């Protein structure tokens, strides 16, 4: 953990200017909402019906990832960096829990982004970039260790892959199901 504190100190020092501070806070607190809003708009885009299905799948993946991350956090009980070391400054209001491992914001963003990669690679790659920036912001604001963000990214990615795989299997089974016999009366 001392090495992770040094990494966080370096990130906070590198992002200490007015612009760096503003970006850190935006990435940590608000980018996830901008990301969700854009994904929702994609889902309601009438000319892109395929995107609606992907957005639905991404939403489920994000929800499941948040549940997994929150449950895991209570199991591990790792205290947030700003509560452990006074040299790390919490640059945002305290999160709802004092547990930092894994990063729920990062897990949620990566779960949705991975599903979006399957559905539309160009949009998905932008979503992966946004997910990475969210994780970076969580470290820059002092609420997560690097391993919290890495674990969140792995959990979210795994959940995204599983949700997509389960959805694909369900679709294939549905397409292969025999047609019900017509009733003659």
Among residues 64, 62, 177, which one has the least CA distance to residue 116? 62
Query: Is pLDDT larger for residue 26 or for residue 177?
Result: 26
Tokens at 17, concatenated: 């200017």
Dump strand ranges (E) for 12-62.
none
Q: What is the pLDDT of residues 166-176, one digit of tens each?
A: 876 555 555 55
Query: Is pLDDT larger for residue 49 or for residue 181?
Result: 49
Task: Give 177's DSSP letter.
Answer: S
Q: What is the CATH number of domain 2-173?
A: 1.10.606.20
The Cβ-side half-sphere exposure at 134, using a 13 Å CA radius, reads: 28
Determine the 3-state secondary structure of 99 from DSSP. Answer: strand
Distance CA 38, CA 23 (A): 19
Q: What is the pLDDT of residues 37-76, one digit of tens each?
A: 887 787 776 666 777 788 888 989 999 999 999 999 889 9
């Amino acid at each position: 953990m001392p090495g992770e504190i040094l990494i966080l100190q370096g990130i906070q020092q590198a992002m200490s200017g007015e612009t760096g501070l503003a970006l850190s806070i935006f990435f940590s607190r608000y980018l996830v909402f901008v990301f969700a809003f854009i994904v929702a708009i994609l889902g309601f885009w009438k000319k892109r019906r395929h995107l609606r299905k992907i957005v639905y799948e991404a939403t489920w993946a994000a929800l499941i990832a948040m549940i997994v991350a929150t449950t895991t956090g209570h199991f591990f009980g790792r205290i947030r960096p700003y509560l452990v070391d006074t040299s790390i400054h919490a640059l945002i209001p305290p999160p709802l829990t004092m547990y930092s491992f894994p990063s729920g914001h990062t897990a949620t963003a990566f779960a949705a982004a991975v599903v979006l990669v399957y559905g539309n690679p160009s949009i998905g790659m932008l979503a992966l970039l946004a997910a990475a920036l969210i994780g970076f912001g969580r470290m820059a604001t002092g609420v997560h260790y690097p391993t919290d963000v890495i674990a969140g990214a792995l959990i979210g990615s795994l959940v995204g892959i599983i949700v997509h795989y389960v959805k694909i299997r369900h679709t294939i089974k549905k397409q292969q199901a025999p047609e019900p016999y017509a009733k003659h009366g």
